[in-house]
Structure 1
Amino acid sequence: MISRAGAALALCLAPGAAFAAGDIGGATLGGAWALPFAGMLLSIALGPVLFPHLWEHHYGKFAAFWAVLVLVPLVLLRGFDPALGALLHTALLEYIPFIILLFALFTIAGGILIMGNLHGTPATNTALLAIGTAMASVVGTTGASIIMIRPVLRANDNRRHNVHVVVFFIFLVSNIGGSLTPLGDPPLFLGFLRGVDFFWTTQHLLPETSFAVVVLLALFFALDSWFFRKEENVPPLKDPTPDRAIKLYGKVNILLLGGVIAAILMSANWKPGIVFDVHGVHVELQNLVRDVVLLGLAGLSLMLTPKQVRAGNEFSWGPIKEVAKLFAGIFVCIIPVLAMLQAGKDGAFAPLVALVSNPDGSANNVAYFWLTGILSSFLDNAPTYLVFFELAGGSAQALMTTGALTLTAISAGAVFMGANSYIGNAPNFMVYAIAKDRKVNMPSFFGYMLWSGAILIPLFLLQTVIFFR
């Protein structure tokens, strides 16, 4: 006799009669199809914290496990052609372009090295954070963090109080600074791949970003000045890296970054009308050219950058390999979730649709900002962005115009609130690890959240009142 739980699961996974290639029938999918996606995100969030050594060596197997739990039922219950079509759509139009951009930015930014040392006064530290914040929307939050964290740490390695410098670095450089272009943070590039104009983000998030950056830099300057004055009354620590002139190495990579921007803009504006059909998936020529150019620019960076420059950045392929494997799992697991979201009120996520809607059916932008942000604080912000993008209708043209405030709320929530925890955005934990290796007494997971809770949450509440009500 079949148990009630088994019957419920069978109902949730029940197949439809027939589906075309790529169509997996989102309106007929039950909630159980979202479980692998939830498991994937929870693994990423909790694995490095609860079982770090196991996770470090086997994260790829975790991703493969959750992906298989989606693909096998899709093939068995929806058919081979629909499952293959959905997988190819995700791989060719989203995952591969997404990883190629991250690979190019990671490779090129890893070839830019800043040597020398400055004295970590409040003014100098504020200037360094401002520079890193501005860089983040050009080279990505990961790239800016790679380039700037070591100069910031060297400038403050003779300070008795330097934890707050790294905490604000994560707030600004590793997160909020990346909100102005699709290059800045992965969620925004996914929006670009879905049809959001390149400079739409710059135009619509500039007020929210400027407000957050000005408030945080002012608060940092005041806090750093207070700590700096306290240190004047005690004997100074020996400076392990005495002040010396700043030198920039790997300058050719700055030109290559310009090439990355040009390639992205080319794909957005050049429309030759040539389309390749791959099992029902339409791949446009301009996007193929963009991806080939990005790979070529990354190759040039590897050829033209001296090895000692990358060694100075402690460059390794580990981080990008991890991102590639984990996001492969994420993009597979999110296939049925996006299909259910596209079904709107007719799908399994109808209660979530109601949660982000006002009684008259209009979008509740406050809910979009905070729900996207809360999930982005602990789960990866890129798939979280996609979930709420689809929940808001999934049409880039509509969201850029009549739904502009909704898309702004989703974008700001995903990027800004990734700073709320060490696991909200990929660069956060990288900066934490580098700072800890340089003997900075970094706060624990929950200790960091005390910082973000005391500083960022009031800021986001203020932004809610000013921008999203």
Structure 2
Amino acid sequence: MKLFRTLTLTALSLAPALAAAADIDGGQLSLLWGVPFAGILLSIALLPMVAPLFWHHHFGKLVVGWSLAFLLPFAVVFGPQAAGAQFVHALAAEYLPFVILLSALFTVAGGIYIRGNLRGSPVLNTGILLVGAVLASFMGTTGASMLLIRPLIRANDNRRHVAHVVVFFIFVVSNAGGSLTPLGDPPLFLGFLKGVDFFWTLRHIFPETLFLIAVLLVLFFAIDSWYFRQDGELRRTDPTPDSGGAALGFDGKINFVLLLGVVALVLMSGMWKSSVQWTIAGTPVGLPGLLRDLGLIAITLVSLVLTPRQVHSDNQFGWGPMQEVAKLFAGIFLTIIPVIAMLKAGVNGPFGAIVSAVTRADGQPDPAMYFWATGLLSSFLDNAPTYLVFFNTAGGDPATLMTTYATTLAAISAGSVFMGANTYIGNAPNLMVKAIAEDRGVKMPSFFGYMLWSCGILVPLFIAMTFIWLR
């Protein structure tokens, strides 16, 4: 982790003795503080297209540069102690738990090999997407994505056109499928912690989820069938025939148990309330979260030890995709700090027009506007804090939101989960799936190329959902 080693040394040089700092007053910030965050987004979007070799070899350095472009001026304006405290908060409260969970899921899922002579027909591919959509709400979009993306790519390794398969996988498994329980996606888990009933989203946005997934699967089957015919003779030969004949089975089964352990640890950290905590430069680190992270690290190590080497070899398991995602999100978590602060300032902040737009003239919340505001911001920002911003904007009382304003809460929930599929950075598994696909030779669309898919397919469906359910 060269990136955070560099940033840590910088922060320590700025603040020999880090002290607690008050939250940033986003209402006092200029939009210029969002330039480093925008710089990272534009780098991710443009450089792989215009300078692919430079990006491949130096993207980590660029992330460090953009991160320091925020951290150093912030230290000058607000003081080194405040800069150090913000750095520690991003590291201890957000980034490390995020990377530890992602690493555990990446490792455990990478230790499960689905053997059998899988052949990537439209029927099989659609079936895998459907299974992934169901699993996503119970093991998380990241867990379901990491479990199924490798066998899906392997099943299609004899086809010329594969990118569309991965794009729809991101739509369905990495996002839409996680909308029914708090286990599915972080925004819903935060709502659960705020007091929203565990099965509330299942009861209130099931029709929207069913509509979205059903239409996507039908569209995918039609598109994949067309590409399947275009592949012609190529699909009849398999350059890497699957081991184990035609019999379907699993190797590395111990990882299913470890996967349940990951889910249990995440649930434990959300449901167990403890007064035991430590404060590091103003950032509270609670006992449940600490035990969760230590448990996840232990599960990662156990998986690496107990998984047979042949399973990792068959899965082409490697750390490249995980390292890429870890570096990119390190910069994103740092540079997003002032952007989230400006959002939290509500109507008094630079984004006040967005926050004001979700309220009707009579003072009542506008569900359609909540859906689009939450969704569009979740397409480019972390969807978990975006969910919280609009949850609080709508009143923040779970009892009222689950009853009187149920349509508004459904709009916030659906927007934060569904529209995470609009860009590669809208949800963590998106970028991970892209990295794994490219690591296996799939030529994925560029950042804007992917957005052509999402705008052409997802946005019309979101518009239809608005008129059907959110008027």
What pairs up with 1:3-82 in 2 under 5 angstroms?
21-82=21-82
Q: Tell me the CA shift for residue 76 of structure 1.
A: 2.3
Unmatched runs of 5 consecutive residues or more in structure 1: 1-18
In 1, Cα distance between equivalents of 2:211 and 2:419? 15
- Are 1:389 and 1:407, in contact at CA under 8 Å, matched by a contact in 2? no
- Are 2:116 and 2:246, in contact at CA under 8 Å, matched by a contact in 1? yes
- More deviation in 361-370 or 288-297? 361-370
In 2, Cα distance between equivalents of 1:72 and 1:465? 46
- Go from structure 1 to structure 2 and tell me whether the alpha carbon gap of 1:159 and 1:180 turns closer, same or farther (over 3 Å shift): same
Q: Tell me the CA shift for residue 444 of structure 1.
A: 6.8
Partner of 2:332: 330
Deviation string 1:7-58 (CA, Å, 9 cap, x unpaired) is xxxxxxxxxxxx9723333332222222222222222333333322222222
In 1, Cα distance between equivalents of 2:196 and 2:50? 37
Q: Look up the SS of the partner of 2:236 in the other structure.
A: coil
User: What is the letter of the counterpart of residue 386 of structure 1?
Assistant: P
User: What is the letter of the counterpart of residue 467 of structure 1?
Assistant: W
Partner of 2:459: 457
Partner of 2:13: none
Q: Tell me the CA shift for residue 367 of structure 1.
A: 2.8
Deviation string 1:283-306 (CA, Å, 9 cap, x unpaired) is 221111111111111111111111
Q: Tell me the CA shift for residue 199 of structure 1.
A: 5.7
- Are 1:145 and 1:427, in contact at CA under 8 Å, matched by a contact in 2? yes
User: What is the letter of the counterpart of residue 389 of structure 1?
Assistant: L
- More deviation in 198-207 or 84-93? 198-207
- Go from structure 1 to structure 2 and tell me whether the alpha carbon gap of 1:65 and 1:257 turns closer, same or farther (over 3 Å shift): same
Deviation string 1:144-178 (CA, Å, 9 cap, x unpaired) is 34432343345455668766544433321233223
Partner of 1:253: 255
Q: Tell me the CA shift for residue 262 of structure 1.
A: 0.9
- Are 1:23 and 1:85, in contact at CA under 8 Å, matched by a contact in 2? no
Partner of 2:92: 92
User: What is the letter of the counterpart of residue 69 of structure 1?
Assistant: A
- Are 1:22 and 1:84, in contact at CA under 8 Å, matched by a contact in 2? no
- More deviation in 72-81 or 137-146? 137-146
What pairs up with 1:384-403 in 2 under 5 angstroms?
384-387=383-386, 389-390=388-389, 392-393=391-392, 398=397, 401-402=400-401
Deviation string 1:353-400 (CA, Å, 9 cap, x unpaired) is 2233333344433233334444555x3x5x255346325537995367
User: What is the letter of the counterpart of residue 60 of structure 1?
Assistant: G
Partner of 1:133: 133
Partner of 1:358: 360
Give the alignment's Cα RMSD to 1 decimal.
3.7
- Go from structure 1 to structure 2 and tell me whether the alpha carbon gap of 1:385 and 1:348 turns closer, same or farther (over 3 Å shift): same
- Go from structure 1 to structure 2 and tell me whether the alpha carbon gap of 1:98 and 1:438 turns closer, same or farther (over 3 Å shift): closer
Deviation string 1:216-246 (CA, Å, 9 cap, x unpaired) is 2234445556777x68999983344376112
What pairs up with 1:299-318 in 2 under 5 angstroms?
299-318=301-320
What pairs up with 1:398-417 in 2 under 5 angstroms?
398=397, 401-402=400-401, 405-417=407-419
Identity %: 54
- Go from structure 1 to structure 2 and tell me whether the alpha carbon gap of 1:181 and 1:42 turns closer, same or farther (over 3 Å shift): farther
How many residues were matched structurally? 447
- Are 1:197 and 1:268, in contact at CA under 8 Å, matched by a contact in 2? no
In 2, Cα distance between equivalents of 1:39 and 1:236? 41
In 1, Cα distance between equivalents of 2:445 and 2:168? 13
- Go from structure 1 to structure 2 and tell me whether the alpha carbon gap of 1:359 and 1:294 turns closer, same or farther (over 3 Å shift): same
- Go from structure 1 to structure 2 and tell me whether the alpha carbon gap of 1:319 and 1:197 turns closer, same or farther (over 3 Å shift): farther
In 1, Cα distance between equivalents of 2:445 and 2:256? 34
Unmatched runs of 5 consecutive residues or more in structure 2: 1-18
Q: Look up the SS of the partner of 1:118 in the other structure.
A: coil
In 1, Cα distance between equivalents of 2:421 and 2:273? 37
Task: Normalising by structure 2, report the TM-score.
Answer: 0.80
Q: Look up the SS of the partner of 1:117 in the other structure.
A: coil
- Go from structure 1 to structure 2 and tell me whether the alpha carbon gap of 1:277 and 1:445 turns closer, same or farther (over 3 Å shift): closer
What pairs up with 1:128-207 in 2 under 5 angstroms?
128-156=128-156, 165-181=165-181, 184-185=184-185, 202=202, 204-207=204-207
- Go from structure 1 to structure 2 and tell me whether the alpha carbon gap of 1:453 and 1:295 turns closer, same or farther (over 3 Å shift): same
What pairs up with 1:225-240 in 2 under 5 angstroms?
237-240=236-239
In 2, Cα distance between equivalents of 1:435 and 1:274? 42
Deviation string 1:257-303 (CA, Å, 9 cap, x unpaired) is 11111111111222232222333332221111111111111111111
Partner of 1:105: 105
Partner of 2:291: 289
Task: Normalising by structure 1, report the TM-score.
Answer: 0.80
In 2, Cα distance between equivalents of 1:216 and 1:270? 37
1:265 aligns with 2:267: yes
- Are 1:195 and 1:396, in contact at CA under 8 Å, matched by a contact in 2? no
In 2, Cα distance between equivalents of 1:117 and 1:458? 37
- Go from structure 1 to structure 2 and tell me whether the alpha carbon gap of 1:310 and 1:44 turns closer, same or farther (over 3 Å shift): same
- More deviation in 76-85 or 296-305? 76-85
- Go from structure 1 to structure 2 and tell me whether the alpha carbon gap of 1:201 and 1:48 turns closer, same or farther (over 3 Å shift): farther
